[in-house]
């Protein structure tokens, strides 16, 4: 049995949160935790790193589906891939969790903080850190750095994995039968994941095929 959720409160007694979301599986538990705590929030979807566009659209539509189910505002930001590739130039062969990922988090959080500043949000956060495949400190550092550009914005570095959050993330994904992405998102992550799979005698990733199932015993 998973630990019961604790009631959350936004820092500085803020009245609403702008939550950057990378995908439905990662944001599902975060969204339900916020809803249970009666926190007013909006989803901000800005992920120009996701490649190819088919993968991007599936991830976005799954997130929209879950947001609409709970009547949560979904803010769909630009898919400016040219900007992302320009920033990634020279980092094509960097490892996962390296400087390319820092650049990617910086880029996404910078846009999140700007939107928050322009639309009256005092606090931003992200669902990225709930994934065990991510470096939480790296993500939080990027979030704090982006928020520091605006005196009225604070990055909330709440650990969404604790109190059973990481386990509930998987259970929600199974219950909702979310699309199950098999790589982080960018073209270089897809390339490196496929290289690894080939080294293990496995087939290449097939976009739009894998979904969580309520009947699965393991994620």
- Is residue 186 classed exposed, middle or buried when 0-12, 13-18 and 19+ CB atoms within 10 A define those classes? buried
Based on its alpha-carbon atoms, the radius of gyration of the chain, rounded to whole angstroms, reads: 17
Domain count, the chain: 1
Confidence (pLDDT) at 131: 87
Q: Which alpha helices (DSSP H) does 2-129 contain, by range?
A: 24-36, 53-69, 81-88, 99-118
Position 139 in a domain: yes
The mean pLDDT of 8-27, rounded to a whole number, is: 96
Confidence (pLDDT) at 188: 98
Position 2 in a domain: no
pLDDT tens-digit readout, 33-79: 999 999 999 999 999 999 999 999 999 999 999 999 999 999 999 99
Confidence (pLDDT) at 147: 98
Position 148 in a domain: yes
Domain that holds residue 48: 14-199
Read off φ and ψ for residue 45, nearest 5 degrees: -105, 100
| Number of neighbouring beta carbons within 10 Å of residue 33 | 20
Position 163 in a domain: yes
Position 204 in a domain: no
The mean pLDDT of 87-95, rounded to a whole number, is: 97
Position 28 in a domain: yes
Position 35 in a domain: yes
Position 211 in a domain: no
Output the domain CATH number for residue 76: 3.40.50.620
């Amino acid at each position: 049995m998973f630990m019961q959720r604790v009631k959350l409160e936004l820092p500085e007694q803020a009245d609403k949160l702008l939550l950057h979301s990378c995908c439905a599986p990662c944001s599902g538990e975060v969204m339900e935790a916020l809803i249970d705590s009666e926190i007013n929030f909006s989803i901000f979807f800005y992920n120009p790193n996701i490649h190819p566009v088919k993968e991007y659209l599936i991830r976005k539509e799954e997130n929209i589906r879950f947001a609409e189910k709970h009547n949560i505002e979904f803010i769909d930001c630009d898919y400016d891939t040219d900007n992302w590739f320009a920033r990634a130039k020279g980092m094509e062969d960097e490892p996962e969790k390296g400087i390319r990922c820092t650049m990617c988090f910086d880029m996404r959080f910078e846009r999140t903080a700007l939107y928050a500043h322009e639309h009256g949000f005092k606090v931003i956060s992200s669902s990225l850190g709930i994934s065990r495949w991510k470096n939480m400190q790296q993500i939080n550092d990027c979030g704090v750095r982006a928020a520091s550009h605006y005196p009225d914005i604070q990055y909330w570095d709440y650990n969404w994995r604790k109190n059973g959050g990481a386990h509930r993330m998987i259970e929600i994904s199974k219950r909702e039968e979310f699309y199950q992405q098999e790589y982080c998102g960018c073209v270089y992550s897809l390339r490196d994941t496929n290289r690894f799979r080939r080294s293990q005698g496995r087939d290449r990733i097939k976009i739009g095929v894998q979904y969580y199932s309520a009947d699965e015993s393991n994620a």
